[in-house]
Amino acid sequence: MTDTTTTSDTFTLGDRTVHRLGFGSMQLTGEGVWGPPKDHDEAIRVLKRAVELGVDFIDTADSYGPYVAEDLIAEALHPYAEDLVIATKAGLTRTGPGVWPPVGRPEYLRQECEMSLRRLKLETIDLFQLHRIDEKVPLEDQVGEFKKLQDEGKIRHIGLSEVSVDQLRQAQQIAEIVSVQNLYNLAKRDAEDLLDVATDEGIAFIPWFPLATGGLAKPGGKLDELAKEHDASPSQLALAWLLKRSPVMLPIPGTSSVAHLEDNMRAAALELSDDEVAELERAV
């Protein structure tokens, strides 16, 4: 049963409406985002529980594992609920733990789209994101291949990951871009200019590492004392700040623990005033 107290408000991503607090699958894999999870059964429980809590936007990538996260999503959730939107990515390869070489050759991007369709057991990928721009390949070839895949019905919408405003503008000359995914959290706000553009144009902004890989949630950390004042956890406070920051923000906190998942999802019920937002920004 869905716990409606953990369900956030919504955003329309292209033609798909999703709750703004989603789930990122990267932490379901092994150390260094490499190999299978330490606890396979718990990973499956996390995915199932996320959907029970109202999550209808799950972010993944072919490089998570590699391939492990996509396989886990299909194992746990297929056949999918009609309202579930799965976003995946291509453009980074893996040669070992923590190593992510970009490859943006059109034939490679097409191959990975086909393989993601197979692993996820989908006929169409709702949101297919270019994981990184490969500087060795013209951008028009990379986004252009995504546009061909879209025209063929293999993907519904196109997104970009870790881009500048200028790169977004170049990509928009080739195809419609419905989302951008950049490093962004309360402690790391270098992408403010991109967020402002996304907000003005109604483009989804998906912040990766929304909890600064757990650094914002550490006991005794900068958020800990403020969180106690709000009767919340540091994670909830950091996520509530993101949701407040912009109506196009779609945080995707990830975890391999059901308990942490449930704690994160309660951020949807936490409302911050403008004064509280300013206090958080001063503190971090």
Active site residues: 64
Q: Is 276 in contact with 268 (CB distance < 8 Å)?
A: no
Do residues 154 and 113 touch, judged by C-beta distance below 8 A? yes
Q: How far is CA 10 from the centre of its chain?
A: 15
Give residue 79's Cα distance to chain centre: 21
Tell me how crowded residue 137 is: count the other CB atoms within 10 A of its CB: 18
How many Å apart are CA 1 and CA 53, to the nearest integer?
8
